[in-house]
Structure 1
């Protein structure tokens, strides 16, 4: 079980990706329910929300999750098949309790009658750029920025702005390559084949250092002269 900030589909997508592409027990199924109901701002009938869908990944993992925001974005390149599910999406405030478990059970039992029409993988949004993906228990900020997207040389000083708060960081090849109390911008432990960049305050809490920014804030960076 992994919990994310309420309604945060970026964090949800990040964790689905981490779990699905990492080491896992045989037959693992990922079941996720992050449903901000942002697909329609009008009055909802019988608590209807974004639909529950199914993805089969190239590595054989089954992912069942609400088709909301960025929930499927991080695994998008790894999806083999994407389908709707023949399951109720309205009629309860707690769809994850009352309706969705039957779909998970059906997939676990290889009951293909629960699988609905084919969906277009191309319609899944890409990973959002320069966003907070996750804040871990130590306050380190994991970003949606990939190592491959960074062309700063190690030792470069950069200015990082998050939610209006400006801090100076050193680009490093490892989080602990800075002195106590200094801020590092380095590839972290998440991201598998192309690690996500992380903002790390050695000996402190990065999230608090940036005055606890909004979970949806943009991350801006520029090289200091």
Structure 2
């Protein structure tokens, strides 16, 4: 069994090691992998979850997502309560368990994946992903669907926005169609930064030193996520390292719009 943990603890953080130890105790047969995302970044988490869930892999894999900024309520919280744990078991056999915070599960919901509450406390520890949730993950992984409760709805995924920044600085977005004809040069605005990009049908089909806006290596449901790729450079740096969820806009030519 492959169990992937998507969380915002930080690369090499002690928290990842503690969660992995707890999961190894409860699911010793699982091969546990850790995927970090920036602190409180539910959009990146949701993107990673969808890419892992809808991509090819063993049917018995589990994706456990925990990015829980506890921003669903501003009032003081008792007993470290936070967003609830939910789960989905896909027809493919893949199990997803995650905290329903922000966009962490929104990309799944957008594809019609039904989400259900997990009957486990949402309080009791500051570190719920180590102390509270792993037992539920293990139970669900072993087929205990008595843990599942009522249907849950989540916020929609951001449209035409940055979804994830990979290790090369490529900006994966929630654009699924070309903003102009292939070969056209467009001006892309993200936050306060504007950079010219060439619309292409492949990220490498532009000369070195050029920014392309093209279908990238990520996507699901028969669609590719368009990606801003600086050949020989770093697209994220060109745009000031925008946070996931930031809008990606095409600036109309002068004299139009």
Same fold by TM (over 0.5)?
yes
Partner of 2:166: 136
State the shift of 1:133 in Å: 0.7
Equivalent in 162, 187, 205 of residue 159 of structure 1 = 187
Partner of 2:237: 208
Deviation string, structure 1 residues 175-213 (Cα, Å, up to 9, x no partner): 111111111100101003100000011100111111222
Equivalent in 204, 207, 212 of residue 179 of structure 1 = 207
SS in 2 for 1:200: strand
- Unaligned ranges ≥5, structure 1: none
SS in 1 for 2:79: helix
Partner of 1:74: 107
User: 1:51-200 maps to which residues of 2 (within 5 A)?
Assistant: 51-116=84-149, 118-120=150-152, 123-147=153-177, 150-192=178-220, 193-200=222-229
> Does the CA contact (< 8 Å) of 1:131 and 1:218 recur in 2?
yes
Supply the distance in 2 between the matched residues of 1:25 and 1:60 (Cα, whole angstroms): 9
State the shift of 1:124 in Å: 2.5
Supply the distance in 2 between the matched residues of 1:170 and 1:88 (Cα, whole angstroms): 50
State the shift of 1:79 in Å: 4.6
Supply the distance in 2 between the matched residues of 1:77 and 1:124 (Cα, whole angstroms): 10
Equivalent in 40, 44, 47 of residue 77 of structure 2 = 44
> Does the CA contact (< 8 Å) of 1:56 and 1:79 recur in 2?
no
State the shift of 1:60 in Å: 2.4
> Does the CA contact (< 8 Å) of 2:109 and 2:115 recur in 1?
no
Pairwise CA RMSD of aligned residues? 1.6
SS in 2 for 1:31: strand
TM-score normalized with structure 2 length: 0.81
Number of residue equivalences: 220
- Unaligned ranges ≥5, structure 2: 1-33
TM-score normalized with structure 1 length: 0.92
